[in-house]
Amino acid sequence: MKLYHLYGLAIASDFDCPELAEITPEQATSRGYATVELRRATAPLSLEKGVAFGHWIRATRDACLCHFAEIASMLIERPDRITVEMMPGAVESDMRAYLFGTGFGALMHMRGLIPLHISAIKAPDGVTAFTGESGAGKSTKVAELHFTHGWPVICDDVAALHPDDPLPRLHAGMNRIKLWDDAVARFGVDPSRLTRDIMRYDKFHLYDPAMFVDEPQVLKNLIEIADHGKHISQPVGAEAVTLLMNAVYRPEIAAIFGDRGHIFKTLSRFASHINDDADPAAP
C-alpha cells in the first residue's frame, strides 16, 4: 500500500495514483497529516438508510454513496475512508478524476475542511489564486504564468483550506493542470504528455510534478476571473468573503455535511489576510 498526500491529508491507497506525490510516514507525521484509507471494494457497495439527494448520491449523517455511471461507485465514510467499486469495463484513470474531485470533496466537507474551486500560482510576491465560473479561464491563466515566467503551480481546480491553520494556507490537489486544445498549441506542450479529459473532447490533462509546489502555501491574493480572462477583479473586505463563499467546491455536498456558519466564519477570518495590498476603489 502506497502513501500519498492530497489536500493536506495522507492517503494510504490500494490504488496506484500517479497524479499524486508520494510521501513517507515520517513526512506525514512531521506535517501533521491525518491519514485517509483508500480501499478497493471486495463486494458491491450499499448504504443502508441513506437518503437520496439527487440520482447520484445517497447520504446518512456520517457517510455518502456516490454513483458515477459506468465508471465507479464510491462510499465515503466520515472521517477517514473511501471505498471504490469499479464498474465493469471502466478504467481507473477515469475513476480517479471523480475520486480526487467529488469523492475527496465530500470527505473534506465531512472533516470540516473547506475545498475551494480555484487555480493558483506562486509568484515572486506571493501566492495568487484565481476563481470564477467553469470555463472562465482560471487554468489557462495559471498555465500562461507558468510557461511564460516559470513560476510554480500551486493547484488547478481544487485546493483545501484547513480551519485550524492560523493563516489561509492552500493544501493542493493533484499534480495536474487542465488545458484547452488551443492552449496546448499556444504553450507548445508536447501532445504525447497529455491525456484527454473524460468529459470534454477538446480539453486535456497535463501531469507534471516538476511544475508544482509540494508543500502548503499561504494565500496572499485572490482574483476573480471571467469571460476567458477579459474581466478581472480583486475584491477586498465583504466582497472577498463573498468570492470565497462562491468558490466553495461542491456546495450541494457542503449543504449535506457542512456547517455554513462555520464555513462563513472561517472564510471571513481568512479573508482578512487576503488582498491586503488591493485598492478598494479599483474596478
Instruction: Give the C-alpha distances (Å, rounded to integers) separating 258 from 51, 63, 171, 207, 226.
Output: 16, 13, 19, 31, 28
226 is a domain residue: yes
Q: What is the pLDDT of residues 70-97, one digit of tens each?
A: 999 999 999 999 999 999 999 999 999 9
> Confidence band (pLDDT; 50, 70, 90) for 229?
low
Domain shared by 41 and 147, yes or no: no
CA 269 to chain centre: 21
* CATH number of residue 177's parent domain: 3.40.50
Domain shared by 87 and 149, yes or no: no
C-alpha cell at 258: 457542512
Domain boundary among 111, 137, 156: 111
Q: Cis peptide before 235, with omega less than 30 degrees from 0?
A: no
Domain boundary among 111, 142, 164: 111
Instruction: Give the C-alpha distances (Å, rounded to integers) separating 118 from 127, 131, 137.
Output: 12, 5, 11
Nearest Cα neighbor of 120 from 149, 141, 99 is 141
Q: What is the pTM of this model?
A: 0.92
Tell me the residue ranges of DSSP E strands in 72-141. 72-77, 81-86, 114-123, 126-131
Q: What is the pLDDT of residues 230-248, one digit of tens each?
A: 667 888 889 999 999 999 9
Domain shared by 212 and 161, yes or no: yes
283 is a domain residue: no
